[in-house]
Amino acid sequence: MGGALEGVKVLDLTRVLAGPYCTMILADLGADVIKVEGPGGSDETRSWGPPFQNGVSAYYLCANRNKRSLTVNLKTEEGREIIRTLAKEADVLIHNFKSGSMEKWLLDYDSLQKMNPRLVYCSITGFGETGPFRHLAGYDYIIQGMSGLMSITGSEESGPIKIGVAMVDILTGLYSAISIEAALYEREKSGQGQKIDMSLMDTAVSSLANVASNYLISGKVPQRLGNDHPNIVPYSIFKALDGEMIIAVGNNRQFTTLCEVVGNKELADDEKFRTNEARVKNRAELTRIIENLLIAKTVNEWLELLSDKNIPCGPIHSMDQVFEHPQILAREMVVGVDHPEAGPVNLVGSPIKLSRTKVKIDRHPPIAGEHNSEILQQAGFSEEEISRLKENKII
């Protein structure tokens, strides 16, 4: 059986991470994704490293599997006409050029919609296509700072800290995939495509979730709490005899059980800790008491004792421990593919587990222009035309 999105044709004019991550999700689900770059490969991540494997960037490999590659010089009218030809038969076009670029090239939604009314057209920009900042470029790091994410990440001692991966790009890719799938579903009823305007800044602000709600309701500007939770205590990292672990107590019943396990049953009846609201107010004192009790045993000993009593807890794994973990391996979160230049490479698997239309990884992250002839022939170009396009450096 084919993938859930089998038959969906996607023109992917994105690069770096947010857009490619979105289109990789669509490709994993069975869509035919054509990754469009400039001749020679214009996705910056192809050169981001180390690490490289036989000259192929690990960064590029992380977001581009299951796609075909077409190189087109969009600075030429003939190159732009190739995109228009492909867009006539496409279901989705997605790009992350700065606002105004696609309009200048007559590759904007209004222009392409006239040729293909069913086209779902998604733009990903830093700040969206409306508002006073619409013309500015957007970068994950900068957006993390501007959106408030960094103001709540880290501790008072550390100062603002960015998240360890480009999470705004990842979340924007996810939101974009959801939006595209919603537009495709709606098209089944209306017969019409539509434009999707995605913004890294919007995504970052939406990801603030309960922290944003706390501010909007209370008017109090949240402070950095390190590994602590603003609304729940004890819900943090705690030191044991040989290292650190996470304990995440979410209700009074769990707190009472925790007190019993660590050997201070009376703690649950103390007025300063009896309710979650009281525990939040007395966070520092409670943390000191718990850590003084946890120092008696190792992390693994506590994890076993707490897990037996259904207290949410867990270790803090390094990357090697993650990818050696039996649960990760059992869930096929490491997949191997053969790459014509890099050789055998391991990629992170898909978290999407469908019972019938299973995710398949059939294609390696493509070499730039690897499928030029195949894609253009399918679009009706003759071998002579393709040869001429190559000679004139259009593709």
* Residues tagged active-site: 169
Residue 297 makes CB contacts below 8 A (sequence gap 6+) with 240, 241, 305
Angle of helix 18-28 relative to helix 167-190, nearest 10 degrees? 50
Identify whether the C-beta of residue 73 lies closer than 8 Å to the C-beta of residue 390.
no
Cα–Cα separations (whole angstroms), residue 158 to 162, 212, 225, 308 = 11, 22, 10, 35
Q: At 216, is the secondary structure helix, strand, or coil?
A: helix
The torsion region of residue 345 among left (phi > 0), alpha (psi -120 to 50) and beta comes to: beta
Task: State the DSSP H helix or E strand holding residue 258, giving kind and residue range, or none if neither.
Answer: helix 252-262
Buried b (16+ CB within 10 A) or exposed e, 164-198: eebbbbbbbbebbbebbbebbeebeeeeebbbbbb
Task: State residue 375 phi and psi, 5-degree precision.
Answer: -65, -45
Give the pair of three-digit tokens for residue 4.
Answer: 């859930």
Identify whether the C-beta of residue 126 lies closer than 8 Å to the C-beta of residue 143.
yes
